[in-house]
Structure 1
Amino acid sequence: MIRAYRPDGTAEIFSASDPRTNLDPAILWLDLVNPDRAEEELAERLLGVPLPTRDDLKDIEPSSRLYVEDAVVFMTGSLVYHVETDLPELTDVAFILSGNRLITIRYAEPRAFSLFSAGLLRVPGRYQTGAEMLGRLLETVVDRTAEVLEIGVARLDALSAEVFVDRKAAKRRPPRFLEDKLLDIANHHRLVSKARDSLMSLSRLVTFLRSQPLVRKDPEADELCRIVAHDIQSLSEHAGFVSNNITFLLDASLGLISVEQNAIIKIFSIASVVFLPPTLVASIYGMNFQFMPELHWQFGYALALVAMLLSAIIPFQFFRWKGWL
């Protein structure tokens, strides 16, 4: 699908069979969403610029994501999407500045694009150049990434409240509760790491964009890029802080699991020690020696039971006195 946006926010959808050979000069933004080869050829014919294909975006090396060719600026950034699911992903989006026109090529639906296109209608005529529109689009992308981090922080706070509870609440937990929470921690880490990767990609993109004459001679676009670069730096630092919190929560959860396992092992250890003396007494009187006077006593059986009971109670009370129970 090819959407063409004008400064007033109105959009036009082109089909692959469109016969036109040039674009309306008023069109500032051409958005290619999951284009097939016919639509790519149509866009190339209308723009007069060779466009990267889906395979090009996938195979492009990190060092070749930003370049200028025949006065056309080609940039590729990684944007996070599917943040509402347990498997957030990154998608590569091409941002191209050709003269006074912005071209984007994407094969996913990051929410920032729908937010930005909806904002065009609310403030018609706000953008006069493609560079300014790109700056505002990147600003929306960064704002959406900030929302993603806020979502991650909210989920992390809720998870932390579930993990760190008082002892009474901890005893009411179902079996393997903390082990299941490790998967949730991994999901939160994946979301934050994807957001950090996206911010790193956007940081390189904005730095490259600010060095281009097309942006430097546009004061509005240059100021937008400066603000976006500052926001990216702040969000990167915040993402690092959130990542450290996730690491702490992971370490704490593993520590609590170890404490629970040690408590179970402690119970078995104490039980074995408590029942060891009665076993010794029973073993002695289980011997088949001929001369064991207690075997002929009238109350020998009862005395043996009392001896076994006392040999169990005494160690148990000693452990309680020492505070080991």
Structure 2
Amino acid sequence: MITGYCTNGDAVALSAAEPPASLRPDVVWIDLVEPTKTEDLMMEKLLGISIPTRDDLKDIEPSSRLYTENDAVFMTASLVYRSDTEIPGLTDVGFILSGGRLVTIRYAEPRAFGLFKAGMHRIPGGCRNGAVLLARLLETIADRTAEILEQAVDKIDGLSIEVFGDKAAARRRPPHFLEARLRDVAGHYRLVAKTRDSLASLSRLLTFVYTVPAVQGDKDSRELCRSISRDIQSLSEHAAFISGNITFLLDASLGLINVEQNAIIKIFSIASVVLLPPTLVASIYGMNFRVMPELEWQLGYPWALAAMVISAVIPFFFFRWKGWL
């Protein structure tokens, strides 16, 4: 699907079934979403540039992600998408500045694009050219990334309260509660890790964008890119801090699981020690020797039971006194 956007923010549909002879001069942004081969060929003919394929966008070599060819600037960044799901991921998005227009190629739907389209009419000074649009789009992407990190912080704080709740709440926990929280921690870690990768990609892209003549020639775009670059740096540091908190939460959860397991093992250990003396008494009087004076004793049975009870009670209270229970 191909959609063009004019300087006033209006959308114009472009179809490969009825290809236009030329692009309207007021079209400053062309958004290609999962373009077909036919649509790629149509845009290459209209723009006079080569449109990167999905495989081209996936190339991780810096020289293949940021370059200039025939006065057209080609850039690729990795953006977070599906951040509200249990399986967040990264999608490679291509940005092209050519002939005063911005061209984007993507095979997913990062939320930042929807937010940018909704606010295009409110861009100060309007959508004058592709350089302005690129700077404003990168600003929206940075804002959306900051929002993803804020949501991650809120969820991690809630998870921390669940893990480190008061003792009364800990006693009411269902079985395998902490094990389930480990899966939640892993999900949050994946999201923050993907966000850090995206921020690193955006940082490289902004460093390159700042040297592009079309951006250097526009004062507002140049200053905005510089501001976004500082924001990306701050977000990267914040993401590293969040990642450290998640690591602490993971280690603490594993520690609590070990404590619970040790408590269970301690109960069995104490029970075996408490029951050992009565077992010894019962074993002695369970022997089948011919000469055992107690066997003829009328009160032998109740005294043997009393000896077993006393031998079990004494270790129990001893452990209580030591604070082991």
SS of 2:232's equivalent?
helix
Deviation at residue 60 of structure 1 after TM alignment: 4.9
Kindly provide the amino acid, as one letter, of the partner of residue 39 in structure 2: E
Is the contact made by 2:9 and 2:127 (CA closer than 8 Å) also made in structure 1?
Answer: no
Partners of 1:280 and 1:269 in 2: CA distance: 17
Aligned positions of 1:116-131 closer than 5 A: 116-123=116-123, 126-131=126-131
- Corresponding residue for 2:238? 238
Q: Is the aligned partner of 1:93 residue 2:98?
A: no
| CA shift digits 1:246-278 (9 cap, x unpaired) | 001001000000000000000011001000001
| CA shift digits 1:262-320 (9 cap, x unpaired) | 00000011001000001111110011111111111001000000001000000000000
Partners of 2:61 and 2:19 in 1: CA distance: 35
- Corresponding residue for 2:185? 185
Partners of 1:237 and 1:56 in 2: CA distance: 30
| CA shift digits 1:187-226 (9 cap, x unpaired) | 0001111111110000000001101222112111111110
Is the contact made by 1:21 and 1:45 (CA closer than 8 Å) also made in structure 2?
Answer: no
| CA shift digits 1:1-50 (9 cap, x unpaired) | 11111110001011112342321121110110111111111111110111
| CA shift digits 1:81-111 (9 cap, x unpaired) | 1011000010000000113110000011111
SS of 1:16's equivalent?
coil
SS of 1:206's equivalent?
helix
TM-score, with length taken from structure 1:
0.98
- Corresponding residue for 1:220? 220
Distance 1:60 1:270, change over 3 A: closer
Deviation at residue 123 of structure 1 after TM alignment: 4.6
Deviation at residue 79 of structure 1 after TM alignment: 0.4
SS of 1:319's equivalent?
helix
Partners of 2:227 and 2:127 in 1: CA distance: 17
SS of 1:105's equivalent?
strand
Partners of 1:124 and 1:234 in 2: CA distance: 25
Kindly provide the amino acid, as one letter, of the partner of residue 174 in structure 2: P
Partners of 1:133 and 1:122 in 2: CA distance: 12
- Corresponding residue for 2:67? 67
- Corresponding residue for 1:36? 36
Partners of 1:65 and 1:13 in 2: CA distance: 28
Deviation at residue 55 of structure 1 after TM alignment: 2.0
Aligned positions of 1:204-283 closer than 5 A: 204-283=204-283
Deviation at residue 167 of structure 1 after TM alignment: 1.5
Partners of 1:295 and 1:20 in 2: CA distance: 112
Partners of 1:290 and 1:76 in 2: CA distance: 94
Partners of 1:72 and 1:143 in 2: CA distance: 27
Structure 2: runs of 5 or more not aligned:
none
Identity across aligned pairs (percent)? Answer: 65
Partners of 1:323 and 1:62 in 2: CA distance: 63
Partners of 2:271 and 2:167 in 1: CA distance: 23
Is the contact made by 1:89 and 1:194 (CA closer than 8 Å) also made in structure 2?
Answer: yes
Is the contact made by 2:59 and 2:65 (CA closer than 8 Å) also made in structure 1?
Answer: no
| CA shift digits 1:227-248 (9 cap, x unpaired) | 1101100100110111111001
Is the contact made by 2:185 and 2:250 (CA closer than 8 Å) also made in structure 1?
Answer: yes
Deviation at residue 71 of structure 1 after TM alignment: 1.4
Is the contact made by 1:75 and 1:95 (CA closer than 8 Å) also made in structure 2?
Answer: yes
Q: How many residues align?
A: 325
Is the contact made by 2:278 and 2:311 (CA closer than 8 Å) also made in structure 1?
Answer: yes
TM-score, with length taken from structure 2:
0.98
Structure 1: runs of 5 or more not aligned:
none
- Corresponding residue for 1:108? 108
Kindly provide the amino acid, as one letter, of the partner of residue 231 in structure 1: D
- Corresponding residue for 1:46? 46
Kindly provide the amino acid, as one letter, of the partner of residue 96 in structure 1: I
Partners of 2:60 and 2:290 in 1: CA distance: 91
Is the contact made by 1:5 and 1:12 (CA closer than 8 Å) also made in structure 2?
Answer: yes
Distance 1:73 1:122, change over 3 A: same
Kindly provide the amino acid, as one letter, of the partner of residue 33 in structure 1: V
Is the contact made by 1:96 and 1:103 (CA closer than 8 Å) also made in structure 2?
Answer: yes
Deviation at residue 61 of structure 1 after TM alignment: 2.8
